[in-house]
């Protein structure tokens, strides 16, 4: 966080890994061995879209709320 100065880049770099990891791993828990080849990528797309919707909205909102209030919280 200290090396990246641009706010939008901090947000993207912070939100992208959980979206990608969850999109690639979560579908494996729901599919049987026979379904992995046929439905895996569809489930990756669906889980990724859901994760992106939640993380991009709530994560961005939370980032700005914490960033806005950090000065008040850190004052002695």
Q: What are phi and psi of 30, to 5 degrees?
A: -100, -15
Per-residue pLDDT band at 22 (split at 50, 70, 90): very high
Q: What is the DSSP string of 16-60?
A: HHHHHHHHHHHHHHH--TTTHHHHHHHHHHHHHHHHHHHIIIIIH
Q: pLDDT tens for residues 41-57?
A: 888 999 999 999 999 99
The reported pTM is: 0.73
pLDDT at 31 over 80: no
Contact yes or no for 47/23 (Cβ under 8 A): yes
Rounded CA-CA distance 50/43 in Å is 10
């Amino acid at each position: 966080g200290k090396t990246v100065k641009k706010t939008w880049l901090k947000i993207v770099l912070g939100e992208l890994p959980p979206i990608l990891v969850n999109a690639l791993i979560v579908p494996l828990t729901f599919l049987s061995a026979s379904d992995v080849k046929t439905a895996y990528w569809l489930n990756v797309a669906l889980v990724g879209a859901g994760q992106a919707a939640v993380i991009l909205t709530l994560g961005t909102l939370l980032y700005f709320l914490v960033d806005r209030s950090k000065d008040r919280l850190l004052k002695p």
